[in-house]
Amino acid sequence: MSSLLLDNYTFVNRMRKESGDRSFPIWILVNPKYPADIFNIWDPIMYEIQDKVYRKLHARINSRKIFIKNAVSDIVRVPNTKIEADVAQSSMKLRDSVLEYQPKLLITFGTITNEFVRRVFDIKPKNGPKYWSTSNLGDEFERSIANFDINRTNCIPLIRQITKTGKNIKGWEESNNNYYHDVASKIAEKIIENKDSLKIWIE
């Protein structure tokens, strides 16, 4: 599938702490423990988004400019002064960067990056990563889409993996594909609705 993407990322870019353009309206935060999330999760979702956007608008998103940044790999499940200090520093840097560049879509993968972003934006309550399951992270995604506002930064959490329990490999792959399709459709709808306010297009 990745060979069909016109604007695919290179392997080198995947390994960098940052890639893309900070001024681009779409940002992705990655847990540095799981750099392959860009390939395994975002690429198939982006493929679907590009397809839906092109069919509707006959335009393509310049995906090479999407800003990808490593977030944090731990937000302190047990007390640790050094980690807490590092997280606080990373949080302040990200908050300053978001205020400066004002991305419209800030996409995260999994529990750690989602909770980290909630703390960056001081969204209450601070639940901790153990609170977030596949189910309520999915609910959070639905809320983010329902409350989408092009005049602010929209935090859009994605789950990292579909639960394999009780499914064979074929069933699990179908669940993954259904998830990518569903998520991509809803993100694409918001992009299409706000096409004139988003400077994201290949010219």
Who wins on pLDDT, 189 or 119? 189
Identity at 4, one-letter amino acid code: L
Q: Quote the percentage of the chain above a pLDDT of 90.
A: 46
Residue-wise pLDDT for 65-111, tens only, equals 999 998 866 555 545 566 667 777 778 888 899 999 999 999 999 88
Confidence of residue 119 (pLDDT cuts 50, 70, 90): confident
Q: What is the mean pLDDT of residues 97-126?
A: 85
All structural domains of the chain, each given as residue ranges with its CATH number in brackets, are 2-197 (3.40.470)
Give the pLDDT score at 182: 94
The reported pLDDT for the residue numbered 78 is 47
Integer Cα distance of 101 and 99 in angstroms: 6
C-alpha–C-alpha distance, residues 149 and 134, integer Å: 24
C-alpha distance across the termini of the chain, in Å: 24
* Residues 23-44: tens digit of each pLDDT: 999 999 998 888 889 998 999 9
pTM: 0.81
H or E element that contains 105: strand 105-109
